[in-house]
Amino acid sequence: MEIARSFGLMVPELILGGSALILLLVVAYGGRSVTRAVFIGSATAIGAALIFTVSTVTDNVTGAGAEAFGTQFSADSFAGYAKVLIYLAAMACLAIAPAFLKRFDALRGEYAVLVLLAVMGMGLMVSATDLIALYMGLELNSLAAYVLASFLRDDQRSAEAGLKYFILGALASGILLYGMSLIYGFTGTTSFDGIAAAISGEISTGALFGVIFMLVGLAFKISAVPFHMWTPDVYEGAPTPVTTFFATAPKVAAIALLSRVALDAFGDQVFAWRQVVIFAALASIVVGALGAIGQNNLKRLLAYSSINNAGFILIGLAAATVQGLSAMLVYLAIYVVMSLGSFVAVLMLRNGQGEQLETFDDIAGLSSTRPLMAWCLLILMFSLAGIPPLFGFWGKFVVFQAAVQADMVLLAAIGIAASVIGAFYYIKFIKVMFFDEPVDRATGKATPASWAILIGSAILVSPLAFLLARWLGNQADTAAASLFLG
Amino acid sequence: MIQTIAFYLFASIVIGSGVLTIMARNPVHSVLWLILAFFNAAGLMVLVGAEFLAMLLVVVYVGAVAVLFLFVVMMLDIDFAELRAGFMQNFPLGIAVAIVLLAEILFGLGAISAGPIELGTADGSATPVLGQSNIENIGALLYTHYAFLFEIAGMILLVAMVGAIVLTHREQKAVRGHQNISKQNQRSPDEAIVMRQPSIGQGIDL
């Protein structure tokens, strides 16, 4: 009965894994003619997994009732919240990919299957309550991501991005594994509950090393400074739909994973990891803001923006309270919408020959030639900068509020000061679009799916979204509470 | 006592050869150091009583490394004449390494007969050893308690396989050159063979 109950708890993963296997066979036998069907099938599978996950978010599912296969997998509300974000982001990324890949003659069904498997890996990551399960999920996601990064294999930049991501990702995995082996060596168990029980009280130096190494490995995955070097290169080189994917779903998964490790396995050892997280948060905010200033390539700029945002998200984790975690989850949801919208906008910038436009020169005066796109971007950029009437402000507000409530006024103050630096390049974006001489390069022709996602995300971060703030906050509170109680 | 000495011997050689793996300029040497590191890691496994893992390490890694070695040799442009030139020079060193390995084997055998190593006091929270052989224990855990993770490992390998095919497989556009028998039959020796007698130092125009 135990096994049946366990399978019952991981229905979303079973759906994703099963449909990935079936669709892989369909691709293998059907060839190019079934590609579109495979994309639709993958999106449907993710949608089905989404339906089965939603109920775990709204009900407060926590503790032993949510645990499957001993203590290896937990389908609690926290995992549910992260999974919903991941699934929605992944569906959006699947919707924008076919048109792009078709132009590069790389439209193959394997893309959708790899996304599906990556999503399954992310689901396992956010549900993992065991070191081995954590690593399995992480590798399933990462391996699929390496392949996706170099999916345009004839494009040198894409191949370079894949290789770079692979080598640095393998290094980070090695560091993470080393930390995990130290933790296992000093606690004698791989389950998070067991680790928390074994290292209660004074933490030994060896276990402390393990904690730090694990944090380093995970910081790489969320591209927090000082482990962010790969981000601009990989984001720039990877095909834009893949970059959109990288900036949204895997970020959510890695951050949820990091929170669970920090607050579940090492929840009693806050002092052991708090300094590291605070440093990474502030360094990410500052480096993300300063690094972006000199960039001319929009994808690189948005990569620095995602580093910057990772810093703000980590502030919520550094608070190490239920409010902090809940604020972090709210910020994460808003961040996913904002980065989805801005990357999709970059994806839609194409000239008459169908080539991608990626620099500031190409969007000069966009407001007079393509007003709708420019206004959507204006909302997204102001929101990323955290200008008050927009929803991005709310995310920053709750995070800083949580930090202040946790007696970390200095951290919040430095964070707010540094976010002003970040505002510079977001506003530069708007200045170039609205006040520079129009060049009229972008045609504005894009698929209905891209337009829908761009306009939808612009609406979701507009002042209207404050109507959702309470609802979103409640969901995040439930999710955060389930991690703390569980 | 002898186990402790054997442990430090194996451990220091693992670390030393690991360092040399990444420091060696010659890729072939790197691979050889790697093999040494694996063998010594296997020795460590034997010391803690995990003889099945030790065998697995040797069979899988040293076997896989042999393939890697072949690839390195085949794909890199290595001047073997130069390598062989140093053979006599390095002969004493080679003998020394062989003696070290032999000593290790003897040490290892002696250490096993003296019982397992005490690595520290266990805190008692780990799963107790069931008193069966390694293979039975691993099998019993892997296919029951860790069955879920075992299946996920299968998915990871599937992703690796799909990825390798996606990135390298190219659909054959043109049919490969088939044998054209009539064309072959039409060739006569007069057209196919050209006799030249180039003077020394001069090339020929074809």
In DSSP notation, B9-73 reads: HHHHHHHHHHHHHHH-SSHHHHHHHHHHHHHHHHHHHHHTT-HHHHHHIIIIIIHHHHHHHHHHH
**Interface touch A72/B149, C-beta < 8 Å:** yes
pLDDT 10s digits, A136-176: 999 999 999 999 999 988 889 999 999 999 999 999 999 99
**pLDDT(A6) > 80:** yes
B161 touches chain A (CB under 8 A): no
For the stretch B100-137, pLDDT in tens is: 888 887 877 777 777 666 665 555 555 555 567 788 88
CA distance A139 to chain B (A): 7
The closest of A482, A356, A335 to A399, measured between CA atoms, is A335
Nearest chain B alpha carbon to A162: B167
CB contact (8 A) between residue B152 and residue A72: no
Q: What residue type is B46 in one-letter code?
A: V
Of residues A245, A303, A254, A252, the one with CA closest to residue A90: A245
| Burial of residue B84, with CB atoms counted within 10 A of its CB: 0-12 exposed, 13-18 middle, 19 or more buried | exposed
Q: Do A108 and B125 touch (CB under 8 A)?
A: no
CA closest to A146 among chain B residues: B163
Q: A140 or A364: which carries more pLDDT confidence?
A: A140
Tell me the count of A-B CB pairs closer than 8 A. Answer: 75
Mark yes or no for CB contact B152/A140 under 8 Å.
yes
Note whether A463 and A389 are within 8 A (CB): yes
Tell me which of B144, B162, B170 to substitute to probe the interface with A (most A C-beta atoms closer than 10 Å): B162
The confidence score (pLDDT) of residue A337 equals: 93
- Cβ separation A197–B125 shorter than 8 A: yes
Query: What's the pLDDT score for residue A442?
Result: 78
Q: What is the pLDDT at residue A206?
A: 84
**A335 pLDDT band (50/70/90 cuts)?**
very high
Q: Which residues of A touch B160 (CB under 8 A)?
A: 143
> Which residue, among A131, A333, A151, A320, has the nearest Cα to A217 in the 3D structure?
A131
Query: pTM of the entire structure?
Result: 0.85
pLDDT confidence bin for A252, thresholds 50/70/90: very high
**Dist CA A341 CA A224 (whole Å):** 22
Residue A389 has pLDDT above 80, yes or no: yes
Tell me the pLDDT band of B174, cut-offs 50, 70 and 90: low
| Per-residue pLDDT at B117 | 62
- When pLDDT is averaged across residues B188-197 and rounded to a whole number, the result is 80
DSSP state of A203: P
What's the pLDDT at B178?
73
**Residue in chain B lying closest to A110 (CA):** B166
ipTM of the complex: 0.90
Mean pLDDT of B40-59: 87
Cis ω on the peptide bond leading into residue A438 (within 30° of 0)? no
pLDDT at B29: 79
Beta strands A67-68 and A73-74, pairing class: antiparallel
Enumerate chain A positions whose Cβ falls within 8 A of a Cβ in B. 6, 17, 21, 24, 68-70, 72-73, 108, 110, 113-114, 117, 120-121, 124, 130, 132-133, 136-137, 139-140, 143-144, 146-147, 150-151, 153, 162, 187-189, 194, 197-198
Q: Does B156 touch chain A if contact means CB atoms closer than 8 Å?
A: yes
What is the structure's pLDDT at B127? 56
| pLDDT band (50, 70, 90) for residue A86 | very high
Which of these, A239, A251, A242, lies nearest to A85 by C-alpha position? A251
Give Cα separations from A149 to A157, B90, B135, B175 (angstroms). 10, 46, 40, 31
pLDDT at A321 over 70: yes
Cα separation, A298 vs A184, whole angstroms? 43
Q: What is the rounded CA–CA span in Å between residue A430 and residue A437?
A: 13
Q: What is the mean pLDDT of residues A22-45?
A: 91
Q: In this prediction, what percent of chain B has a pLDDT beyond 90?
A: 12
Supply the pLDDT for residue B27.
Answer: 74
Pair of tokens at residue A55: 């109920």
Tokens found for residue A93? 């990324």
Cβ-nearest to B148 among A72, A151, A189: A72
Q: Please indicate whether, in this complex, the C-beta atoms of A117 and B125 are within 8 angstroms of each other.
A: no
Residues of chain B in contact with residue A163, where contact means CB-CB under 8 angstroms, are: none
Q: How far is B148 from chain A (nearest CA, A)?
A: 7
Q: How confident is the model at residue A72 (pLDDT cuts 50, 70, 90)?
A: confident
Contact (CB<8Å) A198/B156: no
Which tokens is A68 given? 């499957």
Q: How confident is the model at residue B78 (pLDDT cuts 50, 70, 90)?
A: low
- Report the SS3 class of residue A188: coil
Q: What is the pLDDT of residue B94?
A: 80
The C-alpha R_g of chain A, in whole angstroms, comes to 21
Is the minimum CB–CB distance between B22 and chain A shorter than 8 Å?
no
B19 interfaces chain A, CB cutoff of 8 Å: no
- For residue A127, the model assigns a pLDDT of 92
Q: Say how far apart CA A234 and CA A247 lie, in whole Å.
A: 11
Cβ within 8 Å, pair B166-A147: yes
Top-ranked range on mean pLDDT: pick from A98-102, A118-122, A416-420: A118-122
- Residues in chain B within 8 Å Cβ distance of A147: 159, 162-163, 166-167
CA distance A395 to B184: 77
Predicted confidence (pLDDT) at residue A106 exceeds the cutoff of 60: yes
Provide the pLDDT confidence category of residue A231 given band limits of 50, 70 and 90: very high
Name the minimum distance, in Å, from the CA of B123 to any CA of chain A. 7
B interface test, pick of A21, A125, A139 with most B CB neighbours within 10 Å: A139
The first and second tokens of residue A157, run together, are 């930049």
In whole angstroms, give the CA distance from residue B67 to residue A288.
Answer: 43
Question: What's the pLDDT at B105?
Answer: 79
- pLDDT over threshold 60, residue B201: yes
Name the phi and psi angles at B193, rounded to 5: -115, 135
**Is the pLDDT assigned to residue A256 strictly greater than 90?**
yes
Per-residue pLDDT, averaged over B59-79, amounts to: 73
Q: Rounded mean pLDDT of chain A? A: 89
- Give me the mean pLDDT over the B19-42 stretch: 84
Do A185 and A144 form a contact (C-beta atoms < 8 A)?
no
* Minimum distance, in Å, between the CA of residue A203 and any CA atom of chain B: 14
CATH of domain B1-81+96-118: 1.20.120.1200
* CA closest to B171 among chain A residues: A31
Q: Do B152 and A198 touch (CB under 8 A)?
A: no
- Spell out the domain ranges in chain B: 1-81+96-118, 132-168
- Determine the Cα–Cα distance for residues A478 and A473; give it in Å rounded to an integer: 9
Can you tell me the mean pLDDT for A185-202?
86
Rounded to whole angstroms, the Cα distance separating A392 from A398 reads 10
| Pairwise CB contact (< 8 Å): B125 & A136 | no
Closest CB to A144 among B149, B159, B165: B159
* Tokens linked to A461: 């971060």
Interval A268-291 mean pLDDT: 89
**Highest mean pLDDT of the ranges A26-35, A54-63, A323-332, A465-474:** A323-332
